[in-house]
């Protein structure tokens, strides 16, 4: 099937969305729509990349298109992520969704979306279509300076065959299935509401907030985080695609980034004591009950989807973005102390809840979280790929 693939104007996206998202669960479709909506409200429009595949050439004049020249086959929506300098985009793109357009709409957008029913009845070479989409999109990403793509989908045990066909056909690599957990706790204002989050936890660990103005200290923290990756059970294969510095940079571009809640963890307050681990927290501000869920924007994004209507608008929610210990200090109960610190931070901010994502394979961490009463509220699979200039059709 001859295809015409292009990066299309955003004005056409609204008409395509109902069909494109029709095979998703309601929750995943809401997440996709909110990703687009929130980005349009806060970032440049040209960071949203919308690709269309048609089985005939298209006219530059959208208004003049007819059903014979506008047979849509597939679409892909991606969003470029902000850089650490928020005035510019980073080299990272997040795929919102990609899929086939199953049936034409019959409303006022018919001039854009009408398709030939007889052609749709034929079984297309879906693998070839996806391959051609991959070739075009990857080359366009590379031309735009994008070098890394990430994609969060329904958990693999919930995905339809077509969805998996797109993930693999676009050459994405599955790195983890994550469960997002949530925990509510009773706030003890009399004891902890005025307690500094940069404190000792039961005199067993000292949490030292980073000095972001000290480049030497920041470099040492990056090395510390990298050391905690040794033997990690949380998305271990991510290291094959991103350096530690790039991963930490991604955390800093999230809307929930809270630099005062990045900690170097020591066994005591002695300045000569070597760090034994790290704790990185983020803060999601209160949202209004009537607002839709707003997922965050990296490979462990979508944590804001954990904010249910009972707690929204009441208090900020603290997210455990990453916590890690050096190999020699694991299995000593220190992980519980890291979680307790997150609890203290949440309470110090007037909150009564924290959230996190954990790799399903990380049973030691899951046990810690379950002991805290955390329960799974959302699951998703994370896919990633490097973007190269060598995309080819099969």
Residue 354's pLDDT is 86
Given a contact cutoff of 8 angstroms between Cβ atoms, the answer to whether 356 and 234 are in contact is no
Residue 356 phi, psi dihedral angles, 5° rounding:
-170, 165
DSSP-derived secondary structure letter, 310: T
Residue 117's pLDDT is 41
d(CA 391, CA 134): 7
Confidence category of residue 67, pLDDT binned at 50, 70, 90: very low
d(CA 279, CA 88): 28
Q: What is the pLDDT of residues 296-316, one digit of tens each?
A: 444 344 444 444 434 444 678
Residue 71's pLDDT is 82
SS3 content of the chain, % helix, strand, coil (to 5): 35, 25, 40
**pTM (2 d.p.):** 0.80
Domain-wise residue ranges, the chain: 4-171, 180-381
How far is residue 175 from each of residues 71, 107, 381, measured CA to CA in Å? 35, 41, 8
Q: What is the pLDDT of residues 87-111, one digit of tens each?
A: 778 899 999 999 998 644 334 444 4
Q: What is the pLDDT of residues 114-169, one digit of tens each?
A: 444 444 444 468 999 999 999 999 999 999 999 999 999 999 888 888 889 999 99
Question: Residues 210-221: what's their mean pLDDT?
Answer: 95
Q: What is the pLDDT of residues 328-352, one digit of tens each?
A: 999 888 999 999 999 999 888 888 7
d(CA 24, CA 10): 21
Give domain 4-171's CATH number out of 3.40.630, 3.10.20, 3.30.200, 3.30.1300: 3.40.630
Residue 287's pLDDT is 55
Q: In 69-204, which ranges are E strands? A: 72-82, 89-100, 148-154, 173-184, 200-201
Beta bridge partner(s), residue 6: 52
d(CA 196, CA 312): 24
Q: Which residue has the higher pLDDT, 57 or 22?
A: 22
Q: What is the pLDDT of residues 240-280, one digit of tens each?
A: 999 999 999 999 998 899 999 999 999 876 666 789 999 99
Q: Are strands 375-386 and 173-184 parallel, antiparallel or unpaired?
A: antiparallel
Provide the CATH topology of domain 180-381: Aminopeptidase (3.40.630)
Confidence category of residue 57, pLDDT binned at 50, 70, 90: low
Q: Which residue has the higher pLDDT, 113 or 131?
A: 131
**The domains spanning 4-171 and 180-381 adopt the same CATH topology:** yes
Residue 352's pLDDT is 78
Residues in the chain: 394
d(CA 256, CA 264): 19
d(CA 282, CA 255): 9
């Amino acid at each position: 099937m001859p295809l015409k693939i292009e990066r299309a104007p955003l004005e056409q996206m609204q008409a395509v969305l109902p069909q494109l998202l029709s095979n998703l669960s309601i929750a995943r479709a809401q997440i996709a729509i909110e990703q687009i909506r929130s980005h349009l409200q806060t970032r440049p429009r040209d960071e949203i990349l919308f690709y269309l595949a048609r089985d005939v050439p298209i006219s530059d004049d959208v208004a003049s298109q007819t059903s014979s020249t506008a047979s849509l086959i597939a679409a892909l929506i991606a969003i470029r992520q902000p850089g650490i300098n928020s005035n510019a985009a980073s080299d990272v793109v997040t795929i919102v969704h990609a899929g086939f357009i199953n049936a034409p709409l019959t409303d006022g957008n018919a001039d854009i979306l009408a398709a030939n029913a007889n052609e749709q009845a034929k079984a297309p070479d879906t693998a070839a279509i996806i391959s051609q989409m991959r070739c075009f999109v990857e080359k366009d990403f590379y031309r735009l300076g994008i070098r890394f793509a990430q994609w969060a989908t329904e958990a693999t045990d919930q995905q339809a065959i077509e969805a998996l066909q797109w993930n693999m056909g676009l050459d994405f690599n599955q790195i983890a299935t994550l469960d997002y957990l949530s925990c509510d706790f009773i706030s003890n204002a009399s004891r902890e509401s005025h307690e500094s989050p940069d404190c000792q936890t039961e005199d067993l660990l000292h949490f030292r907030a980073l000095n972001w103005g000290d480049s030497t200290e920041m470099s040492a923290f990056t090395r510390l985080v990298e050391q905690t990756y040794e033997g990690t059970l949380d998305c271990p294969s991510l290291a094959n695609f991103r350096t530690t510095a790039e991963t930490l940079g991604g955390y800093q571009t999230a809307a929930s980034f809270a630099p005062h809640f990045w900690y170097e963890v020591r066994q005591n307050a002695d300045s000569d004591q070597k760090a034994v681990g790290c704790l990185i927290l983020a803060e999601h501000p209160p949202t209004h009950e009537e607002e839709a869920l707003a997922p965050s924007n990296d490979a462990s994004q979508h944590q804001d989807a954990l904010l249910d209507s009972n707690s929204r608008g009441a208090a900020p929610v603290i997210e455990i973005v990453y916590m890690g210990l050096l190999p020699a200090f694991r299995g000593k109960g220190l992980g519980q102390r890291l979680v307790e610190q997150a609890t203290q931070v949440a309470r110090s901010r007037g909150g009564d809840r924290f959230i996190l994502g954990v790799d399903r394979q990380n049973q030691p961490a899951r046990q810690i979280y379950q002991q805290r009463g955390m329960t799974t509220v959302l699951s998703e699979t994370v896919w990633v790929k490097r973007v190269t200039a060598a995309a080819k059709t099969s």
